[in-house]
C-alpha cells in the first residue's frame, strides 16, 4: 500500500507535499496516515477530502488512518470531517460518534456546496452563529462582519458557476500569535471540477500566446475575466481580493498546476507558482487577521505583494 | 418620452418580495438565481401598474447583499428600463441602504455604466456612474427640487449650458425627471411618499 503521511500541521503550508506524493504514487491502494497530525485547519481538512476523492476517482477508496491525538480527532469530528470522509475513505480507527452540531467554537464546519441553495445555507449559518465570533474575537465592526458573509457567498458561487462540480467550504478562527500576532479566520473552499483553465479557455485562450493554468489564473484573478460575456460577471474574485487587501489578509487560488496569491507583508508566499503537481478543480484559501482597531478597520500590515 | 403626467410611487420591500419570488424563504439577498427571481418579481409588478412609476427598492430589512445578487436584482433591472424598448416607463430609487449595501450596488452599477438614486444611512446620494459635474448638478437639483438649468447653475460654479448638458445626461440615465415647464428638471426624491 502506498502511504501519504499527513503533516503534523495539516494546513495550506504543507498541502503541496501531499499533492506531490499523491501524483507520484504508483498504482495501488493509498493510505492517508494521519497518525502524527497535531493540528488541522479548514484548508488541511478539506484538502485531505479533495485528495481522497482524487484517489477514489482513480479506482480505489483510500484508507484514512486516524490521528493518535484524541483532541485532534475530536476537533476534526466537530468540523464535520468524518461525515464527509466516510464516502471517500475507508476510515481506520476509532472516530467520534456524532458530528459537530453547532458547537460554539466552530464558525462553519465542512459544508458541501452543490447548489445555490447551499450558498444560502452557508450565509445563514455564518450570520446565525458567526457574527459574534467575528465581532468579539476578531474585532470586526458589524458592517465588516456582514461583508465576511459576502466573501463566503461569492467564493462558494465560484464553484457552482465555474467548476461544473460540487465542492466543500469550511471556516474557523485560530490564534496565530507567532506568525501574525493575533487571531485569524481561515476559509477554505475547494472543488475538483474543470478548473480555471478549462472554464475560461473558450472565451479567452485564443488571445494568449501560451494558455496554461497560470495564464488562466492571472486572467481571472488579476483581470476579473470569466467565461461569460457579461460585464456584470467576474466581480466575485475582484471584490473578495479588495476586502482581503483592506483587512490585511491573504488569498490564494490553486488550480491545475498553478497557484496565484495576494501576499500580505506578514506572509512569505510566492505570488505566482507554476509547474506544481496537477490537481483538478480549484482550491481557494483565505486568511483574514483580526483588526487592530475596530473603529478604523485597520489591519496589522496592509502592504504586500500581488499575484504578478 | 413621458415627461409629464402623474408619476406613481410604488414601493418594493425586497426582503418580503424575495420570499414571495423565490421558492425557499431566503433571508439574505445572495446568489444570482435569487437576484434574478427578485428582478422578475419587480418587473412583473411594474408591468401591472401600466403607468409612469417611481419604483422604490426598499432594502431596510435586507441584512446581506452580495455582488452577484446585486448585479441581477439591481443592475440588470435598471439596465432593462434604460433601454429604448423598455417594458414600462419606470424610474427607480433605492431606500433603506446601510453602508454594507453601498459597495455591492455601486460596483455593479459602475460595471454596467448605470446610475441610481439611493438613500444610504438616511442621506440621498447618487450611486454608480456620473462625472463630477453630473454629481454636483444632481445634488444641486436635490436642493432646488424642481427647476431649469439656470436655477440649478446658481448653486454651482458652472454655466447654465454646462449644467443643462449635465442634467440632460442625468435624465437619460433616469436619475432625474424632466417635468413641469419646458427645460425643467425634477429631483426624483421629491416624488417619494412621506415615510
Chain A contact present for B68, CB below 8 A: yes
CA distance B60 to B63: 8
By CA distance, what is B23's nearest residue in A? Answer: A117
Distance of CA A292 to the CA centre of its chain: 25
> pLDDT tens digit string along A4-53?
999 999 999 999 999 999 999 988 899 999 999 999 999 999 999 999 99
All 3 cell numbers of residue A291? 483588526
What was the pLDDT predicted at B180?
75
Cross-chain residue pair A154–B68, CB shorter than 8 Å: yes
Residue in B30, B65, B104 nearest the CB of A120:
B30
Nearest to B31 among A127, A147, A157 (CB): A157
Q: Which cell goes with A225?
A: 475575466
Q: Which residue of B has its CA nearest to A121?
A: B26
CA–CA separation, B29 and B68 (whole Å): 9
Question: Which residue has cell 461583508?
Answer: A147
Chain A CB contacts of B108 under 8 Å are: 232, 235
Is B193 or A268 the better-scoring residue by pLDDT?
A268
**Alpha helices, DSSP H only, in B76-154?**
76-80, 99-111, 132-144, 149-153
Contact B30 A123 (CB under 8 A): yes
- In which residue are the cell numbers 446565525 written? A128
The least confident of A110-114, A177-181, B83-87, B147-151 is A177-181
Confidence check: pLDDT of B16 > 90: no
pLDDT, tens digit (0-9, with 9 covering 90-100), for B98-138: 999 999 999 999 999 999 999 999 999 999 999 999 999 99
Q: In what order do the strands lie in the sheet with B8-13?
A: B8-13, B53-58, B90-97, B115-120, B123-128
Interchain CB contact of B28 with A (< 8 Å): yes
Beta strands in B60-122 (DSSP E): 90-97, 115-120
Percent of chain B with pLDDT over 90: 64
Across chain A, what does the average pLDDT equal?
Answer: 89
User: Rounded to an integer, what distance in angstroms lies between the CA atom of residue B104 and that of residue A105?
Assistant: 30
Q: For chain B, give the mean pLDDT.
A: 87
Q: CB-hemisphere CA count at 13 Å for B184?
A: 11
The C-alpha of A164 sits at a distance from chain B's nearest C-alpha, in angstroms, of 16
pLDDT for B162 equals: 97
Mean pLDDT lowest among A22-31, A51-60, A296-305, B168-177: A296-305
> Which residues, other chains included, contact B179 with Cβ-Cβ below 8 Å and sequence gap of 6+?
B3, B4, B146, B185, B186
Residues B37 and B22: beta-carbon distance below 8 Å: yes
Contact yes or no for B112 and A232 at CB 8 A: yes
Task: Quote the CA–CA distance of A144 and A122 in Å, as a whole number.
Answer: 17
Whether A302 shows a pLDDT value over 50: the answer reads no
In this structure, what is the dihedral angle of CA atoms A236, A241, A247, A252, given to the nearest 10 degrees? 110
Nearest to A146 among B64, B76, B111 (CB): B64
Q: Give this prediction's pTM.
A: 0.88
Amino acid at each position: 500500500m502506498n502511504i501519504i503521511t499527513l503533516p503534523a500541521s495539516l494546513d495550506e503550508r504543507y498541502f503541496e507535499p501531499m499533492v506531490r506524493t499523491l501524483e507520484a504514487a504508483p498504482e495501488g491502494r493509498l493510505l492517508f496516515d494521519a497518525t502524527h497530525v497535531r493540528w488541522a485547519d479548514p484548508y488541511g481538512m478539506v484538502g485531505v477530502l479533495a485528495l481522497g476523492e482524487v484517489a477514489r476517482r482513480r479506482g480505489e477508496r483510500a484508507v484514512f488512518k486516524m490521528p493518535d491525538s484524541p483532541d485532534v480527532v475530536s476537533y476534526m469530528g466537530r468540523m464535520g470531517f468524518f461525515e464527509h470522509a466516510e464516502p471517500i475513505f475507508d476510515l481506520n480507527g476509532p472516530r467520534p460518534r456524532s458530528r459537530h452540531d453547532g458547537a460554539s467554537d466552530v464558525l462553519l464546519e465542512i459544508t458541501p456546496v452543490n447548489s445555490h441553495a447551499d450558498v444560502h445555507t452557508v450565509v445563514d449559518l455564518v450570520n446565525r452563529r458567526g457574527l459574534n465570533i467575528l465581532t468579539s474575537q476578531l474585532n470586526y465592526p458589524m458592517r465588516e462582519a456582514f461583508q465576511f458573509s459576502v466573501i463566503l457567498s461569492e467564493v462558494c458561487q465560484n464553484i457552482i458557476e465555474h467548476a461544473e462540480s460540487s465542492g466543500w467550504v469550511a471556516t474557523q478562527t485560530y490564534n496565530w500569535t507567532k506568525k501574525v500576532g493575533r487571531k485569524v479566520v481561515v476559509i477554505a473552499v475547494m472543488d475538483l471540477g474543470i478548473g480555471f483553465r478549462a472554464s475560461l479557455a473558450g472565451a479567452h485562450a485564443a488571445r494568449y500566446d501560451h494558455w496554461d493554468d497560470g495564464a488562466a489564473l492571472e486572467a481571472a484573478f488579476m483581470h476579473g475575466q470569466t467565461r461569460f460575456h457579461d460585464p456584470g460577471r467576474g466581480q466575485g474574485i475582484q471584490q473578495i481580493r479588495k476586502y482581503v487587501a483592506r483587512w490585511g489578509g491573504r488569498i490564494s487560488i490553486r488550480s491545475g498546476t498553478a497557484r496565484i496569491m495576494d501576499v500580505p507583508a506578514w506572509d512569505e508566499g510566492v505570488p505566482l507558482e507554476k509547474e506544481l503537481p496537477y490537481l483538478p478543480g480549484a482550491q481557494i484559501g483565505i486568511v483574514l487577521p483580526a483588526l487592530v482597531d475596530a473603529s478604523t478597520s485597520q489591519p496589522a500590515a496592509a502592504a504586500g505583494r500581488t499575484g504578478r | 418620452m413621458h415627461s409629464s403626467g402623474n408619476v406613481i410611487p410604488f414601493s418594493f420591500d425586497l426582503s418580503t418580495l424575495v420570499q414571495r419570488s423565490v421558492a425557499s424563504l431566503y433571508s439574505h439577498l445572495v446568489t444570482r438565481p435569487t437576484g434574478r427571481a427578485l428582478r422578475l418579481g419587480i418587473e412583473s409588478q411594474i408591468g401591472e401598474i401600466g403607468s409612469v412609476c417611481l419604483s422604490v427598492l426598499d432594502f431596510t430589512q435586507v441584512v446581506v447583499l452580495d455582488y452577484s445578487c446585486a448585479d441581477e436584482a439591481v443592475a440588470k433591472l435598471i439596465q432593462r428600463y434604460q433601454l429604448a424598448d423598455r417594458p414600462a416607463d419606470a424610474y427607480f430609487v433605492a431606500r433603506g441602504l446601510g453602508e454594507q449595501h453601498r459597495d455591492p450596488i455601486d460596483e455593479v452599477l459602475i460595471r454596467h455604466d448605470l446610475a441610481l438614486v439611493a438613500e444610504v444611512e438616511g442621506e440621498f446620494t447618487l450611486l454608480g456612474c456620473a462625472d463630477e459635474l453630473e454629481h454636483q448638478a444632481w445634488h444641486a437639483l436635490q436642493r432646488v427640487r424642481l427647476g431649469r438649468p439656470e436655477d440649478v447653475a446658481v448653486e454651482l460654479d458652472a454655466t447654465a449650458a454646462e449644467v443643462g448638458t449635465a442634467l440632460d445626461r442625468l435624465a437619460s440615465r433616469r436619475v432625474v425627471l424632466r417635468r413641469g415647464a419646458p427645460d425643467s428638471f425634477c429631483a426624483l426624491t421629491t416624488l417619494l411618499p412621506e415615510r
